[in-house]
């Protein structure tokens, strides 16, 4: 499935370069209008990221997210950024959000997220892992809006949460995100081989329809595309047709 991604900051659609808040590109697009465009094109899922909340949880764009969710209940919305407690999750789910994306807290406070999986169920929680290739060929997990590296490995995290019923994993190669240098096939082949029962969402580096073909071919079931759609480098409907015809 092709999942359009929309990053939100200053109540506007933006993109960061490799997660760097000093390299922000703001687009002259009204978020709700743009989201309704995807809905009109029969998108099944849209991925929303509150970048303000991801950086400063106390400044989450609650009003904007609430407005979007309340007016787009006909589609599956997965929302992330600044989710730090059960009240955040409950509030978004009550509005009609289908899935909540959990990132740094899953690494720093695993017991809390284990409880959320029990309370809300694995269909409601998406575990977001931000990955960068290590110098020895391993994969390092970054946290706090990609600002720092954790001491955990992707293997430990996936094995741990698999025991608690996790299903949806959003895996971003942060070295490629927003760069148009192509996707990290090696990473996703590794994930698919090691944890075949999990549903992975690939993210980072999509530059052409050929990237979609490659990911589809190796077995990825969900591909998140952000900047390539926003800047019209790939037409949304062309991506959908490409996905369906591979």
Domain ranges for the chain: 2-245
Report, as an integer, the average pLDDT of 62-88. Answer: 89
- pLDDT tens digits, 157-188: 999 999 999 999 999 988 787 778 889 999 99
Active site residues: 7, 130
Distance CA 95, CA 208 (A): 35
Signed CA dihedral, 46, 170, 150, 90: sign only = positive
Q: Which of 17-21, 28-32, 94-98 has the lowest mean pLDDT?
A: 17-21
pLDDT at 180: 80
Q: Across the chain, what does the average pLDDT equal? A: 89
Which CATH architecture fits 2-245? Alpha-Beta Barrel (3.20)
Q: pLDDT at position 148, please? A: 61
Q: How far is Cα 136 from Cα 163, in angstroms, rounded to an integer?
A: 28
| Residues 15-29 as b or e (16 or more Cβ within 10 Å = b) | bbeebebeeeeebee
C-alpha closest to that of 101 among 74, 82, 75: 82
Backbone angles phi, psi at 18, to 5 degrees: 50, 40
Q: Which two tokens stand for residue 173?
A: 């190669």
Q: How far apart are CA 211 and CA 199, in angstroms?
A: 19
- CA dist 143 and 108 (Å) reads 9
Give the pLDDT confidence of 60-70 residue by residue, as tens digits: 888 899 899 88
């Amino acid at each position: 499935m092709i999942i359009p991604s929309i990053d939100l900051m200053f109540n506007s659609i933006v993109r960061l370069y490799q997660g760097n808040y000093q390299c922000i590109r703001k687009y002259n697009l009204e978020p709700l209008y743009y989201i309704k465009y995807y809905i009109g094109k029969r998108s099944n899922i849209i991925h929303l990221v509150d970048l303000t909340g991801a950086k400063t949880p106390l400044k989450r764009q609650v009003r904007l997210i609430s407005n979007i969710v309340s007016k787009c209940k006909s589609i599956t919305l997965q929302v992330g950024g600044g989710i730090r407690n059960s009240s955040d999750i409950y509030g978004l789910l009550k509005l009609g959000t289908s899935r909540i994306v959990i990132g740094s807290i899953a690494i720093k406070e695993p017991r809390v997220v284990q409880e959320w999986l029990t309370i809300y169920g694995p269909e409601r929680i998406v575990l977001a892992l931000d990955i960068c290739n290590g110098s020895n060929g391993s994969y390092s997990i970054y946290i706090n809006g990609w600002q720092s590296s954790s001491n955990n490995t992707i293997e430990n995290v996936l094995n741990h949460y698999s025991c608690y019923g996790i299903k949806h994993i959003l895996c971003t190669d942060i070295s490629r995100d927003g760069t148009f240098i192509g996707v990290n096939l090696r990473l996703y082949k590794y994930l698919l081989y090691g944890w075949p029962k999990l549903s992975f969402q690939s993210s980072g580096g999509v530059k052409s329809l050929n990237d979609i073909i490659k990911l589809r071919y190796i077995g990825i079931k969900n591909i998140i595309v952000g900047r390539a759609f926003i800047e019209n480098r790939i037409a949304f409907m062309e991506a959908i047709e490409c996905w369906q015809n591979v």
